[in-house]
Structure 1
């Protein structure tokens, strides 16, 4: 194997002995820009793979995480054979012992199929791209609507539970381990002032049906075909578990509808792209059809507000706690992210009457 400038190179060499491939001429390079796991492209003269070290601080049940992905992949692969699922299903490759995750020293790893002639995109630039994103993630969860979510392990408890996230922020404020509260007190105060919205979220969440949701529906968790520029696979199933459709839709709005990157500091220049929002909500609802209840349709607008708010509070909590969860690359990186997400929450809140018009337009069009 080519030398890889990392302290984990010996772990990788040991890991690869668990798989029935010839890695004697393998090369490895970083892949993607995820916040949590360490992901690499592994290439041999005959094959290409995705190699991933799972962050066990964020995902304390790495074996269950991989087992969830295996259950989902198996189900989707069967549906694809029946022409009920249009996208490719990237495989997790099993070890010689038949395991989807292999522990080497302190970490669990997994080896996955690399889809050739594919690429990822980092941001949505047109309503047409937004339509493709909404269709692909809706196809994923809609196809899984007949798969019992109860079969999946809850990988991160209370992942999108606003009560839990506000409790975390409350504790971080009380502790203020890093003496960072003074610089962001105004942002903390704003978050706690949103109690009416928090109660609205709690009320509707308790009434919605549970689905298998992706929970990280940004565009770079889709693979696009280089030949057609159409989505060809949904990837990064780490947070797939029982959830609500409004969470997945809200995360699409959060990651697709702002003109700025998640950590851009030019928040005064942030704009909400209503054309992209319209493409998202039309295509997400149309792809689900009657598998989405009227209350779920209504909840999508709440989700559009919720996800920027809840991710903003998570970035703020991590900043106060000393940047223990999300990868950071500069001072106050998580604070910058929090400011950006709360600004997006404000813009979505201000635009809510217009967003509801677009949602009502969709319901009229579909009828």
Structure 2
């Protein structure tokens, strides 16, 4: 560990888990941009140690408590053979709590599952079937859990009107004088009146479910021997929501032929074979426990998530890149153009997507 400050923090945190920096091997784990995550190999046990980013998650205790409630419910379902994946347990520290607070920073430990790996991007239809089936099974197993018991970790996270209001506010201020670079994109967003209305009408009638809200394939653990998913991980953004959000996030991250910051927009296409695999396995994973309205909402969700993240990238660009990590000045603008173009392609293909989802 090269960071002296973090090394000192680990020196104080590890004894809560009956080990120390001297008798443990600690290494950075994963490539997440929000929390700091480590793999700890001690003489007694191996576990994942995580410092929760309290700037993003304003109440870290809620993140930890939500995970406890979700894992308890999933474990009960697993014991009744109604859930085949592994819950990701948080470890209880020596003071009988999963939450450790050191110097106003919040830490937790999560069980380490050996002999597994993660995948960064969907490359095949088989992987698309796997990711959709796993996240669908996760939500289906929680469908009888009272979602209102979970804290709303990030208020209005997928609330389209709030995201549009944030865009409007930064447009009016234009603090970095960047509006002239992207006025056409701002106009495009606010011109989608009929789509925005359709989303609002759906939100008013859809049943609230426990949703994961970050359904990328790299939030699954795969067994190294079977090559199949064994656990849904990263429950930080789990909260009450709608299944169209989770499905839409899968489409957003799996179905474009370009990465989300790719600039060759003329080459962007929808990977229809991947979309079909996602839709088939996601719907099947609910084993009939999905309403007709929810099923139909998946097409709107597929369009909504690129549209909404495009708005967020655009908002952050105009505001001076205060939220998303960027590698160059136009990074957020490139992302916004990319995601809004993907929305445009999905919106134009709505009839074809509908035939896939409803057949």
Query: Which bin holds the TM-score, normalised by the shorter protein?
Result: over 0.9
Q: Residues 41-190 of structure 1 correspond to what in structure 2 (within 5 A)?
A: 41-190=39-188
* Secondary structure class of the residue paired with 2:48: strand
Corresponding residue for 1:297? Answer: 295
1:39 deviates by: 2.0
Of 24, 27, 50, 2:25 maps to 27
Instruction: Mark the CA change 1:109 to 1:323 in structure 2 (over 3 Å): closer, same or farther.
Output: farther
Per mean C-alpha deviation after superposition, the further-off stretch among 195-204 and 39-48 is: 39-48
How far apart in 1 are the matches of 2:11 and 2:330? 36
Per mean C-alpha deviation after superposition, the further-off stretch among 72-81 and 317-326 is: 317-326
How far apart in 2 are the matches of 1:171 and 1:109? 35
1:121 deviates by: 0.7
CA deviation map 1:218-262 (0-9, x unaligned): 111111111111011000001101100100111010011112222
* Secondary structure class of the residue paired with 1:33: coil
How far apart in 2 are the matches of 1:335 and 1:33? 23
1:23 deviates by: 4.5
How far apart in 1 are the matches of 2:174 and 2:47? 43
Of 257, 268, 285, 2:266 maps to 268
How far apart in 2 are the matches of 1:347 and 1:304? 11
Q: Does the 8 Å CA contact 2:317/2:333 hold for their aligned counterparts? A: yes
Corresponding residue for 1:235? Answer: 233
Q: Does the 8 Å CA contact 1:36/1:327 hold for their aligned counterparts? A: no
Instruction: Mark the CA change 1:164 to 1:15 in structure 2 (over 3 Å): closer, same or farther.
Output: same
How far apart in 2 are the matches of 1:36 and 1:181? 28
Corresponding residue for 1:322? Answer: 320
1:155 deviates by: 0.7
* Secondary structure class of the residue paired with 1:146: coil
* Secondary structure class of the residue paired with 1:291: coil
Of 305, 329, 332, 1:331 maps to 329
Q: Does the 8 Å CA contact 2:243/2:298 hold for their aligned counterparts? A: yes
1:15 deviates by: 1.4
Instruction: Mark the CA change 1:279 to 1:21 in structure 2 (over 3 Å): closer, same or farther.
Output: same
Q: Does the 8 Å CA contact 1:58/1:325 hold for their aligned counterparts? A: no
1:140 deviates by: 0.3
Q: Does the 8 Å CA contact 1:131/1:279 hold for their aligned counterparts? A: yes
Of 299, 303, 307, 1:309 maps to 307
How far apart in 1 are the matches of 2:148 and 2:358? 32
Q: Are 1:226 and 2:232 an aligned pair?
A: no
Q: Does the 8 Å CA contact 1:36/1:326 hold for their aligned counterparts? A: no
1:22 deviates by: 4.9
CA deviation map 1:301-329 (0-9, x unaligned): 00000000001111111222222222223
* Secondary structure class of the residue paired with 2:337: helix
1:111 deviates by: 1.3
How far apart in 2 are the matches of 1:25 and 1:266? 50
RMSD between aligned residues: 1.5
In structure 1, stretches of 5+ residues that fail to align are 362-367
How far apart in 2 are the matches of 1:6 and 1:279? 47
Instruction: Mark the CA change 1:271 to 1:48 in structure 2 (over 3 Å): closer, same or farther.
Output: farther
Q: Give the length in aligned residue pairs.
A: 359
1:184 deviates by: 1.8
Instruction: Mark the CA change 1:6 to 1:337 in structure 2 (over 3 Å): closer, same or farther.
Output: farther
How far apart in 1 are the matches of 2:260 and 2:23? 38
Q: Does the 8 Å CA contact 2:296/2:358 hold for their aligned counterparts? A: no
Per mean C-alpha deviation after superposition, the further-off stretch among 301-310 and 101-110 is: 101-110
CA deviation map 1:270-319 (0-9, x unaligned): 21100110011111111113210000001000000000000111111122
How far apart in 1 are the matches of 2:133 and 2:51? 30
Q: Are 1:357 and 2:351 an aligned pair?
A: no
Corresponding residue for 1:365? Answer: none
Per mean C-alpha deviation after superposition, the further-off stretch among 184-193 and 125-134 is: 184-193
